[in-house]
Chains A and B, each alone.
Chain A
């Protein structure tokens, strides 16, 4: 075996060994709690696979791009595919960036809310190396007043005219703005009650109130911006592409399969043997148990359908599944140990 084959087989083995050991070994090995890192390690495996995202994009570009450039048969279809791909990538990417921007616009406020809580926590655990609580409260107060002022200005500057006057969103926005004004006042009051001078018995209830009111302000401001964002051009293009094309085309494609199944059933379900008759009867009873018309004729069809699905169908399917799972397990072990690697190693010079 040459060194390349060896490396491939070694990495194939290494890829599977973690999940195998994770299953057979206890969570704690030699005093180290290994299972607490399981999520991070699993993410690492997903990251390896996620890096192949660009591979799909490159393949699509190569196959369909060449068709368009050389004007081969089906170039128009390829053009439709690539334009759909890039348009959707651009639009959903823009919507995602806008979501991030909205989250960032209130980041300062949410950060200050967690700071209010942290001040109390640090005092209780007597954390060293930090400024006294009353100094930190003063810093929180100053920063929060400034951030709230900026947020208030940004919310007041929002252009509400793009919302249709009589829409439900318009009513929702009015109510959100009202709640926002109340929350801003509550935040101001809570900030004013913060202890900013040294005391023998420090009271952190104001810190808790500051945290809650700042979180409410952040939430409401984000909601206001979200409602408005629904009426932005890019969001509407996204809705057009997603609801108008993606969802419609997807459900139309799958419902089309209903016709194919019916056509296949015509060929397969002709009563030519006892077995096909049995299959036809089972299918008929399951379908009758699901449509309102047959239930109107006799409501016992529902019970028959449920019984068929829960007893003979579950048992037979489980037997098939167990058989397939045993075969899958054998195949997985063969793959993991590179016993099944002949076809995989073919094609490239190794």
Chain B
């Protein structure tokens, strides 16, 4: 619950607007209506406007433009500089100019030039995916093959061993379920793939439960805002 200073008209307005916006979105639960549509579009507009400024403010300006324009260099009282200008930074102009090719997308004649830069981006994402796969998946794969019999203090830890066996069995059976390179004819293979399917259902169920709880947490937060913050603000506004 936010401590609202009702005497502060801006704070009061922020809470009131927040409540109206929340109710406008929830009005969709009754049926689709123009108020919901307007607020939905307003949200997209605000998010896009914020995103544009944010990307310039947090990335382009401090990391590229400030060093490129030498704005981070201080001139000391004796005429010396805090650091000299790095002329290699001028190379950033190349990707900037290259990135401007995106705007040929609107030209019929030179539209193909936009595809050069889009292709470049696709290629870069392909290269990154290659790197990402080996950096992310290989360690995970290594760690997935746990010891099937776990000893603790010289004795077999049955529960942990069972967990590890189940983990490896689940991993292999689910992977096998998606293995379509050859036909599964034996009963053993079919049973193994089938158990993968069952275990996947447990995974989906657990996922579903977690997702529902996350959404419910947001819903509870919104309802708390409406009850604890918005309705007292409304009462204050109408002098109740």
Contact = CB atoms under 8 A, between A and B. Distances in A.
Interface of A: 4, 7-9, 11-20, 22-23, 40, 43-58, 60, 74, 76-78, 80-89, 92-93, 96, 107, 111-112, 114-115, 118, 130-131, 135-136, 139-140, 142-143, 164, 167, 236, 239-259, 261-262, 265, 274-276, 278-287, 290-291, 305, 308-309, 311-323, 325-326, 328-329, 331-333, 335-336, 338, 341, 344-345, 348-350
Interface string B95-131: 1101110110110100110011111111111111111
Contact of B140 (A112, A318, A328): A318
Interface in B39-70: 39-50, 52-57, 59-60, 63-64
29 contacts: A12-B120, A16-B126, A17-B127, A20-B127, A23-B131, A47-B60, A47-B95, A49-B121, A51-B100, A80-B41, A81-B45, A88-B50, A89-B49, A92-B54, A115-B76, A164-B5, A236-B10, A244-B13, A244-B14, A247-B18, A252-B26, A261-B212, A265-B212, A279-B201, A290-B209, A315-B166, A316-B203, A332-B127, A349-B111
A77 B38 contact: yes
Contacts of A284: 205, 209
Contacts of A53: 52, 55-56
B199 interface: yes
A220 B60 CA distance: 28
Nearest to B122: A335
A122 B53 CA distance: 40
Nearest to B57: A96
A261 B198 CA distance: 22
B184 interface: no
Contacts of A82: 45
A81 B7 contact: no
Contacts of B222: 248, 251-252, 255
A40 B202 CA distance: 45
B21 A249 contact: yes
A11 B120 CA distance: 5
A55 B119 CA distance: 16
Given A15-B124, A250-B47, A252-B222, 5 more contacts: A254-B215, A265-B208, A321-B140, A325-B136, A336-B122
B228 interface: no
A315 B135 CA distance: 19
A328 to B, nearest CB: 6
Given A19-B124, A47-B99, A92 B49 contact: yes
B210 A286 contact: yes
Interface string B3-16: 00101101001111
B199 A312 contact: yes
5 interchain residue pairs of minimum CB distance = A51-B99, A15-B123, A84-B45, A282-B205, A286-B209
Task: Tell me whether chain B's interface is mostly helix, strand or loop, or mixed.
Answer: helix
Contacts of A45: 95, 124
A115 B174 CA distance: 63
Interface of B: 5, 7-8, 10, 13-19, 21-22, 25-26, 28-29, 34, 37-50, 52-57, 59-60, 63-64, 74-78, 80, 82, 88, 91-92, 94-96, 98-100, 102-103, 105-106, 108, 111-112, 115-131, 133-137, 140-141, 144, 163, 166-168, 170-175, 178, 196-213, 215-216, 218-219, 221-222, 225
B136 to A, nearest CB: 8
Given A20-B127, A282-B206, A344-B115, A114 B82 contact: yes
Q: Which of A40, A55, A279, A315 counts the most B-chain CB atoms under 10 A from its CB?
A: A315
Contacts of A305: 209
A251 B103 CA distance: 34
A156 to B, nearest CB: 24
A283 B7 CA distance: 47
A8 B110 CA distance: 13
Contact of A11 (B38, B119, B200): B119
Contacts of A111: 74-76, 82
Q: Which of A114, A118, A313 counts the most B-chain CB atoms under 10 A from its CB?
A: A313
A321 B140 CA distance: 10
Contacts of A331: 129
Contacts of A81: 41-42, 44-45
Contacts of B133: 325-326, 328-329, 332
A111 B126 CA distance: 44
Contact of A93 (B53, B64, B211): B53
B208 A261 contact: yes
